[in-house]
Amino acid sequence: MNKTEGLNLRVVVYEGRGSTPLAAEDRYRIISSLLENGFEVTRPPGGNGGEVSRADVAPVLVLGKFDGRIPQSEGVRFHDLSGRPHEEAIQTAREVRDQVGARNLGDWKPWFPVIDYERCTNCMQCLTFCLFDVYGVDADSKLQVQNQSNCKTDCPACSRVCPEVAILFPKYKNGPINGDVVRQEDVRREAMKVDISALLGGDLYASLRSRTQEARKRFSTERDESRALLERKRCLKELQKNLDIPDEVLMSLPTVEDIHERAERAKAKLAARQARSQTAKDSRPDPTQEEWGI
């Protein structure tokens, strides 16, 4: 199962007609434990009104201290809390989750970029920069986050290269990347730091190619492999520090050849698209998202 697919088990803590209300402390302990174990929890309206999510396609388990007979309802599981430790309810929830094939939330830390479209100018620096195909464009060529689960946990590097401070990582430690208000000095700082093209000498891919060629040249003239490796290590360390990239991400970077190939593919597609759009007589539809492949 993909990390972002599937349904969570929803647990309803029922205290209405036909049941005895829980003590406040018990209610808190059960709900808290359920959340910590990755379950969605609903406490339906009691006497004080309010509203909760209606039943949907998600599998449901109802917990309650039922008076006498445990209710029956098609597609819904019930667990009686009467006289039982709350740990048993958590265990039941785990069993039901396995039985119905619901997701186990602990499998993935939800770390991915979120775009603030009030700030995004569709400049595509993030799409160009990200080496893991997290970004793509929709049918109107508008930037989108398309593959959240491709994102490398704890890596906020694309948000550091966004000149508009438009990319959020809600679980990041510091503002404004965490969603805190963007101040003018943040915009100035990011703009200074992050014109990634300028930073790397005009074009990221050209720069990587040139760096590779330089390294090859140096190998052939100086035959000093260790010096080149040291230089490469130093550059990566600098980039890592500036953009807050975790070690694991650097360990899993695609090769220069992969990047080169991808860039050439994207350029060819872009050129083809531009040629088509400039021909008034050409009535063919725009390429689909899949054709773009970015």
Q: Which residues contact 182 (CB under 8 A, 6 or more apart)?
A: 119, 165, 176
- Residue 40 within binding range of other proteins, rule CB under 8 A: yes
Among 78, 132, 150, 178, binds other proteins (CB under 8 A): 178
| Alpha carbon distance 185, 192 (integer Å) | 11
Residue with smaller CB distance to other proteins, 148 or 197: 148
Residue 51: how many CB atoms within 10 A of its CB?
7
Residue with smaller CB distance to other proteins, 171 or 276: 171
281's tokens: 């007589």
Give just the sign of the alpha carbon dihedral 256, 257, 259, 263: positive
Q: How far is the CB of 75 from other proteins (least distance, A)?
A: 17
| Alpha carbon distance 196, 193 (integer Å) | 8
- Residue 14 within binding range of other proteins, rule CB under 8 A: no
Q: How far is the CB of 286 from other proteins (least distance, A)?
A: 22
- Residue 108 within binding range of other proteins, rule CB under 8 A: yes
Among 20, 52, 141, 142, binds other proteins (CB under 8 A): 52
- Residue 244 within binding range of other proteins, rule CB under 8 A: no
Among 14, 19, 31, 59, binds other proteins (CB under 8 A): 31
How many residues line the site for other proteins (CB under 8 A)?
A: 57
Residues in 115-144 at the binding interface with other proteins, rule: CB under 8 A: 115-117
| The one-letter amino acid at 31 | I
3-state secondary structure of 109: coil
Among 71, 76, 109, 272, binds other proteins (CB under 8 A): 109
Terminal-residue alpha carbon distance, the chain = 23
Residues in 184-213 at the binding interface with other proteins, rule: CB under 8 A: none
- Residue 145 within binding range of other proteins, rule CB under 8 A: yes
Q: Which residues contact 153 (CB under 8 A, 6 or more apart)?
A: 109, 111, 246, 248
Among 47, 68, 75, 285, binds other proteins (CB under 8 A): 47
Q: How far is the CB of 47 from other proteins (least distance, A)?
A: 6
Q: How far is the CB of 287 from other proteins (least distance, A)?
A: 23
- From the list 46-54, 69-77, 193-201, 236-244, the region that binds other proteins by CB under 8 A is 46-54
Separation in Å, CA 249 to CA 94, 147, 153, 219, 236: 33, 16, 8, 27, 11
Separation in Å, CA 147 to CA 6, 142, 162, 231, 255: 15, 15, 18, 33, 20
Q: Where do contacts with other proteins occur on this chain (CB under 8 A)?
A: 3-6, 8, 24, 27-28, 31-32, 35-54, 56-58, 105, 108-112, 114-117, 145, 148-149, 168, 170-173, 175, 178-182
